[in-house]
Structure 1
Amino acid sequence: MTLLPELPAYAWALLVCAGFFVGISKTALPGISTISIAIFAALMPAKESTGALLVLLIVGDVFALLAYRRHADRKALIRLIPAVAAGLLLGVLFLWLADDSGVQRVIGVVLLLVVAVTLWQRYRSPKEPSDRAALASRIGYGALGGFTTMVANAGGPVMSMYFVAARFPVKAFLGTAAWFFAIVNLAKLPFSIGLGLITPGGLLVDLVLIPGLIVGAFVGRWIANRIKQELFDGIVLVLTVLGAVYLIL
C-alpha cells in the first residue's frame, strides 16, 4: 500500500506541469503560479492541495532567493509586515471555520477586483502616489495578500499587483517577492501543519514534482534576464486575470 494518491497518468502529467510552473513563477513570472493552484485544486481535495502546494512553493523560494536575494527592497518588506500578519491570521481563522466549497470562487473574485483597482490606480495617475495613498495601498494589498496566501496559496497574484502598482523594476520585483514569500510561506507552515493541511501523501507528491520545479526555475531565470519591463508587467496582469477567471468558473 502506498501513500501516493492513485491518479491517472494525465493527472500526474498535469501535476508535473504545475511543479514546472511553480519554478517559473519563483524566478520570472509570479502570476503563473495561479495555474499551479488551479491544477492542484482540480486534482486533490482543496485543503490538502493547499498544504501540498505550500511545501512545493517553499522549495521554489530557495531557488528564488539564490537568484535574486540581493535585489530586494528591504524597506518595502518591513512596511508590509503588519498588514500581511493580520491577513494571515484572518486566513487561519477562515480555514478553521470554512469547508472547501466556495473558497476558490471568493479568491477569484477578489483577484479580479485587485487587477481592476491596480489598473485604475496605475493609469489614472502616472505620477508617484501620495504618502496617504501609498499607505492605503500597502495595508490593502498586504492584508489581502496575507489572507489569500494562507487560504489558497494565492498571494502571488495579489502581491504581484502591489509590486506592479508600485512600479518595481523587474529584478527589484523578483527580489522583493522572493524574500516576501520565503518569509510568509515559512510562517504559514506551523499553521498548515496544525490545521492538517500537510499530509504524508502530499509530501510524497511534492517529492515527485521537485525535478520539474528545478527545471522551471532555470527556465524562469533565463526568461527574467531577457524580458522587458513593459512586457513583464503585461504578462503578470494577463496571467492574474486568467487565473482569477479559472478559479471563479
Structure 2
Amino acid sequence: MTAGSPQPRIDTSRPHPARVYDWLLGGKDNYPVDQQVGERLPPEARDAARQNRQFMRRAAAWLAGTGMDQFLDIGTGIPTQPNLHQIVQGTVPAARIVYTDNDPIVLRHAEALLVSRAEGATDYVQADVREPDTILGHARKFLDFERPIALSLIALMHFIPDDQDPYGIVRSLVDALPSGSYLVLSHAASDLYPELAEMVTAEYAKGGIELGFRTRAGVGRFFDGLDLVDPGLVTAPEWYRDTAVPEAEGSGIYAGVARVR
C-alpha cells in the first residue's frame, strides 16, 4: 500500500462524493456533512448506488473469467465488501489490483480492508482522476503495462464537468493501456429521468459538489475508438454476461465495458 507520509487530513467540514456514496450504500464511514447531502437526495439515489455496485461486481467477475489479472480501479470509494479484488481474486488468485481515490478517509481504510490474497497483490495510491499522469506513474510500478489491464471508472466521471476535460482525462488513461485491455465505466444519465437528474445535481451543488450528468451519446463518447462488449452501452441493471439475468428495474445509470484495440 502506498499511504504517503504524513497522512492527509480528512476535511469533515465539506461533503465528499466517496463518503456520500458510502452513506447511500448504508455504510458508516461518513460524517454529518455527507449525511446531510444524502438525506436530501431522492430515494432513487440509493437505488443508483446499489446498481453501480452490482454492475461493478458483474463486470469484474466476467473479466476475471476471461483471465484478466490486472486492474486499475480509479475512484475506489470507501471499501464495501465484496471489493473488486475479492471478486477478481476469487477467480484469478494471482491478480494484481491498484486502487485509487482522492479522499483521505479511503486511504485510512485501504491498508486494513483492501488486503490481497497471498497469491496476488493490491496497492493503493491517493490521487485524483484529474491527475492521470500521477496515477499512471504509480500504476506502472505495480502493473505490467505490456499486458492487458482493466481500467475501472465506476460512478466517477459524472463528478468531472465538461470544463475539466473529462474526455481528455479518460483518453489519457486509455491511451496508456496495451491492446486487449478494457474500460469499465458507469455514469449518471441526464436524459433518462431529467427531472430527477436536475434534483440530484442541485442537491449536490448545495454541498459544493459539481456534477456533470450526461446523455447516452455523451457517455458513449468515453468509449470512442473502443469495441463495446455486448450488450453495449445500456443501463446498469441491463449489463450482464454469463450470469443470471438481473432483475429488471428502472435506472438512471448508463454502463458499459469496451475492449482496447
Q: Which is bigger in relative contact order (C-alpha 8 A, separation at least 6)?
A: 1
Larger strand proportion, structure 1 or 2? 2
- TM-score bracket, normalised by the shorter chain, equals under 0.3
Larger helix proportion, structure 1 or 2? 1
Give the TM-score, by structure 1 length: 0.26
